[in-house]
Amino acid sequence: MREVDPDKTQRSMSYQLYIDAPMPMVTLFRTLDVSRLIRLRRRGYSFNMLMCYCILSAAGAIPEFSLLPVGKKLMAYDTLAVSAIIANRAGGISSCDIPACPDLPSFDRAYRELTGRVRDTCENHDLPDSMVIGTSCLAKYDLDGAVNFYSGLFNNPFLIWGRYRRRGLRTWLRVSFQFHHVQMDGEQACRFLDELQTAIRRLDT
């Protein structure tokens, strides 16, 4: 992680326009075909783990995910991670950052180990030197969309989804994607969601 001069990046104009905006976050909604993940789930993989893996795969194809405004600074990151919200054994919730891995089996092992540790210890697992993509899965509930609050403390991109829905032979999932306008514009955000759908459809063990 290192600070970069916004004027020497492609985000220069957006930095000037939105770094002082009182509400700089944008939220997009997308319905994804997750039929492939359902088939892989039958092999013992967690649906949430598969979504997290595909999110990282898609983000890796979008250069803007390597940058993030932190306070008034624009920071560049060499690594990506995804954060999952875990129900811990104390009855509360904890966050768990899982680093990007080169393949699905490696990510699955890291996901199981780290989320298991967080669940048992009730302590967050943070990767402060990675650009972390937040997620929240509310799998018990039917959601048409969700707009996250803006605290002013965390500018990280964030995805939220609820229960997937079956229609005919396909399974669909509605997701919301929130991002800071300094980090990316709508075009890059839409490309990310397209890449996410592609990653899901092409996912293979």
- Looking at the predicted structure, is the pLDDT value of residue 29 above 90? yes
Task: Quote the distance between the C-alpha of residue 95 and its chain's center.
Answer: 13
Is residue 152 one of the residues assigned to a domain?
A: yes
Are 193 and 173 in contact by the 8 Å Cβ rule? The answer is: no
User: Nearest to residue 202, comparing CAs of 49, 47, 30, 57?
Assistant: 57
Q: How confident is the model at residue 205 (pLDDT cuts 50, 70, 90)?
A: low
The residue range of the domain holding 167 is 25-202
- Looking at the predicted structure, is the pLDDT value of residue 105 above 80? yes
Task: Give the model's pLDDT for residue 150.
Answer: 86
Is residue 2 one of the residues assigned to a domain?
A: no
Angle made by CA atoms 198, 34, 24, in degrees to the nearest 5: 70
Is residue 119 one of the residues assigned to a domain?
A: yes
Tokens of 54: 């595909």
Q: How confident is the model at residue 151 (pLDDT cuts 50, 70, 90)?
A: confident
Residues whose CB falls within 8 Å of the CB of residue 168, separated by 6 or more in sequence, listed in order: none
Q: For residues 24 and 172, give the distance between their C-alpha atoms in angstroms, rounded to a whole number.
A: 29
